[in-house]
Structures are given as C-alpha cells and as structure tokens.
Amino acid sequence: MRRSIFATLSAIVLVSAATPAFSNFVHSGAVSQTISEGQQDQLNARNSRREQERNETLNARNSRAQQERYETLNARNSRWEQERNETLNARNSRAQQERNETLNARNSRAQQERYETLNARNSRWEQERNETLNARNSRAQQERYETLNARNSRREQERNETLNARNSRAEQERYETLNS
C-alpha cells in the first residue's frame, strides 16, 4: 500500500509540472509535504515565467485589439465629424443665403419706401415753393403794373394838360388873328 501511495504522489508531481492549475494546488500546501524545497522553487519559477508569458501575450493581444478599436472609432468619428461639418456647413450656407435674401428684400422695400417718401416730400416742397414764388411774382408783377400805370397815367395827364394848354393858346391866337 505504501508503494501505491508513493506512485500516486510521484504521478501528481509529474502532472503538476505540466499543469499550472495543479501546481497552484500543490503550492497551496495540499501535497507540499511530498515536494522538496528545491522542486517548489523550480515550480514557482516555471509558473512565474508561464504567467509572465501569458500576461505578455494577453497584453499584446489586448493592445492590438485596443489599437484596432481606437483606429476604428477614430475613423468612424472622423467620418461622422466630416459628415456633421458638411451638414452644418450646408445648413449654415442655406441659412446665410436665406438671411441675405431676406435682408436684401427688406432693404429694397425700405429703400423703395424711403425714395417714395422723399419724392412725395420733395414734390410737396416743390409745390409749396412754386406757389410761394408764383404768389410773390404775382404780387411783384401787380405792384409793377400799378406803378407803371400810375406813372403812365401821370405822364398822360401832364401831356394832355400840356397839349390842351398849347392847343388853347393856338386856338386863341387863331381867333384873334381871324377877328382882327
């Protein structure tokens, strides 16, 4: 029976060299009384190397996967950003165009209304100015006519009086000549 136990323990030691999980089981103390301190150090070193290699492999795999994921996300985000910028640029361009057209139409209407207001105001001013000038000219013309008429009337009166006196003297002289 002792031989079968020893054979079983020897098989366990051999299997533990190929099985990290079992070597951890051995390391935990379950069968440590059958493994020497040198063997334990070898197992620990081997397990440490395997764990290190496993970690490096996983880290490299995760690093590549993470890199690929970042590149995929960056490419997708870059496309989305490009599409978003193009959409925003197109929307802003349309909005700017509509705003410019609205402002141009509003300014055109305001300019038209301003011209019409100025034309109406200028027309009224011109009408009032013409009426004022016409009234002033009419008064000046009337006064000039009255002045000329009065002057002509005085001259005509004086001429008539002069002619009447001259004619009266000539008539008197003629009568006197005929009577003598």
- What is the model's pLDDT at position 82? 95
CA distances from 41 to 7, 20, 38, 46, 48 (A): 22, 14, 5, 8, 10
What is the torsional sign of CA 95, 101, 105, 106?
positive
pLDDT at position 180, please?
Answer: 76
Burial of 17 per CB tally in 10 Å (0-12, 13-18, 19+): middle
pLDDT at 71: 94
Higher-confidence residue of 32 and 116: namely: 116
**Which amino acid, one-letter code, is at 134?**
N
Identify whether 1 is part of a domain. Answer: no
Residue at 8 is within a domain: no
Per the structure, how many domains does the chain have?
1
**Quick one: pLDDT at residue 84?**
94
Q: What is the pLDDT of residues 60-92, one digit of tens each?
A: 999 898 999 999 999 999 999 999 999 999 999
Structural domain including 93 reads 18-134+141-179
Positive/negative CA dihedral, 51, 21, 15, 23: positive
pLDDT attached to residue 134: 94
Model confidence at 46, in pLDDT bands (50, 70, 90)?
confident
Residue 86 domain-assigned (yes or no): yes
- Please determine, for residue 23, whether its predicted confidence score (pLDDT) is greater than 60: no
Euclidean distance between CA atoms 178 and 95, whole angstroms: 119
DSSP, residue by residue, 94-153: HHHHHHHHHHHHHHHHHHHHHHHHHHHHHHHHHHHHHHHHHHHHHHHHHHHHHHHHHHHH
**Residue 12 domain-assigned?**
no
- Average pLDDT over the chain reads 84
